[in-house]
Amino acid sequence: MKRAISVGVGAALLGLALTSLATYLELRFTQNGAFIRDWASKDSPDSRYGDPIDFMGKWLRIHQFVVSPSVSVLVGLFIGFFSRRRHLLPLLIGVTPIVLI
């Protein structure tokens, strides 16, 4: 039981770290990140980036269909590797932060 909770907490921390890393890399090195940084510094979006709602939709789709599934698979691999028999409790603990984000 202690091992299951420890693996679940480790998986939750791994999920949060991977999601934070992916968001940082996206905001730092993509056109969406340049748009968001520009918007934050000027209080209004520049017209050179196009429609702000379109960029927000792209950003949301990237997180929904690329980042979250990738992080969930890596968390599942972590749990499968370190949890011996019962995978349900560590899985619930590990995936909850990803679902809430």
Q: Which residue has the higher pLDDT, 96 or 42?
A: 96
Contact between residue 58 and residue 81 where contact means Cβ atoms under 8 Å apart? no
Give the integer Cα–Cα distance in Å for 67 and 20: 10
Give the integer Cα–Cα distance in Å for 57 and 29: 18
pLDDT averaged over the chain? 84
Q: Is the pLDDT of residue 51 over 80?
A: no
Give the pLDDT confidence score for residue 45 in this predicted structure: 64
DSSP code of residue 27 = H
Give the pLDDT confidence score for residue 48 in this predicted structure: 65
pLDDT digits (tens, 9 = 90+) for 9-49: 999 999 999 999 998 998 888 877 777 777 777 766 666 66
Contact between residue 77 and residue 5 where contact means Cβ atoms under 8 Å apart? no
> Does the reported pTM lie above 0.85?
no
Give the pLDDT confidence score for residue 10 in this predicted structure: 92
